[in-house]
Structure 1
């Protein structure tokens, strides 16, 4: 039985707390105690739980990246379902992960109206985004989940990973937006956001997309 009073813990922003030797029932009990309305993110893999307290930089960057994807999908008229930082967990694979942002695109119709996930039936998100500020993304958890495309932003660089034969491979292009210079655009928009602010940077990005001759 989990006896930790997790809500009373004072973990400073930007810090993380590792709990080793945690079985699945203890992991689920901790999730229940933490609740859904919390400022932390969790990752669980092979008995180790990581609880991260987020910094403003993390939240700012992940929000802009998520907004860029939404703008692209809207302007290209690609349907999607956004699942944000939903907890994805499956006991059979002994993992749990919360992306910073995630999207159902190819599988969006399957997820319309879904309020709860059952990963024994429901597909993984088609695109997940992670921003690494205080810790490294647990790539293995995403491999087990089977997310086809994973974006990891660290420092000032975005890396795009695609799942091929059960392993992630670094890619220069996004399978979701194959003809677009996503890496360059992410660098440009995030640099602009720091110079002129989030809203003007995203407005400029939307205008850029509208000015392109796209199929």
Structure 2
């Protein structure tokens, strides 16, 4: 399996599916791929997907992640951003690497931990998936009980909240209620393409402060 895996080259924007991968093989593949890599993985009960994002995907997820961090800082909320950490649960035979993820309400419970185990630790409070070419694995996030999942696709932001084990689309964020983020986040992302990252983040921070004062 590992010899074959090393021979696989996944072009940007493409994905490879491997069938009948057991948990031990999945763990071995993760270790072989290493943490510092361009590919993303998703594992769902024996099916392993390996995907290489496009540069556009990486730009969008970095800016949206920066906007989220700025929002949390302006609201004076402690958080931990773990990027594309691998989250997995052997009992459910599922694993996923979000584009970005944040511990917010559960930040204190994982603060200082170098390794997370979802059999004892909480899942991230918010995960972000940027879908330029790939699909979001909603069922994996549902199984791992991630309370809030953001999907950004084709210039639109969709917020999904976990209710009774299933995602329901919402107009508001669970972590940031009463803020029109579905409208605002795509606007500032688009603004960054012409105004630049730093200028956009400064403008966004001003907008957040205005909302707080209302």
On whether the aligned pair clears a TM of 0.5, the verdict is yes
Using the TM superposition, give the Cα deviation of residue 127 of structure 1 relative to its aligned residue in structure 2, in angstroms: 0.6
Given that 2:44 and 2:95 are in contact with CA atoms closer than 8 Å, whether structure 1 keeps it comes out as yes
Paired with 1:157 and 1:34, the residues of 2 have a C-alpha distance of 32
What's the TM-score, normalizing by structure 2? 0.96
Aligned to 2:113: 114
Paired with 1:61 and 1:151, the residues of 2 have a C-alpha distance of 13
Using the TM superposition, give the Cα deviation of residue 204 of structure 1 relative to its aligned residue in structure 2, in angstroms: 1.2
Paired with 2:213 and 2:123, the residues of 1 have a C-alpha distance of 28
**Tell me, which stretches of 5 or more residues in structure 1 are unaligned?**
none
Q: State how 1:4-23 maps to structure 2 within 5 Å.
A: 4-23=3-22
Q: Does 1:213 align with 2:200?
A: no
Q: What's the secondary structure of 2:212's corresponding residue? A: coil
Q: Does 1:202 align with 2:201?
A: yes
Q: What's the secondary structure of 1:74's corresponding residue? A: helix
Using the TM superposition, give the Cα deviation of residue 8 of structure 1 relative to its aligned residue in structure 2, in angstroms: 4.0
Q: Deviations over 1:108-143 (max 9, x none)?
A: 101110100111100000011000012101000000
Segment drifting more, 194-203 vs 131-140: 194-203
Given that 1:16 and 1:134 are in contact with CA atoms closer than 8 Å, whether structure 2 keeps it comes out as no
Deviating beyond 4 angstroms after TM superposition, the runs of 4 or more aligned structure 1 residues are none
Paired with 2:146 and 2:172, the residues of 1 have a C-alpha distance of 16
Aligned to 1:103: 102
Segment drifting more, 132-141 vs 200-209: 200-209
Q: State how 1:23-34 maps to structure 2 within 5 Å.
A: 23-34=22-33
Report the count of equivalent residues: 214
What's the TM-score, normalizing by structure 1? 0.95
- Distance change >3 Å, CA 147–CA 17, structure 1 → 2: same
RMSD (Å) for aligned C-alpha atoms: 1.3
- Distance change >3 Å, CA 91–CA 194, structure 1 → 2: same
Paired with 1:192 and 1:3, the residues of 2 have a C-alpha distance of 43
Q: What's the secondary structure of 2:135's corresponding residue? A: coil
Aligned to 1:190: 189
Aligned to 2:45: 46
Given that 2:2 and 2:32 are in contact with CA atoms closer than 8 Å, whether structure 1 keeps it comes out as no
Q: State how 1:36-75 maps to structure 2 within 5 Å.
A: 36-75=35-74
Q: What's the secondary structure of 2:9's corresponding residue? A: coil
Q: What's the secondary structure of 1:125's corresponding residue? A: coil
Using the TM superposition, give the Cα deviation of residue 10 of structure 1 relative to its aligned residue in structure 2, in angstroms: 2.1
Segment drifting more, 2-11 vs 52-61: 2-11
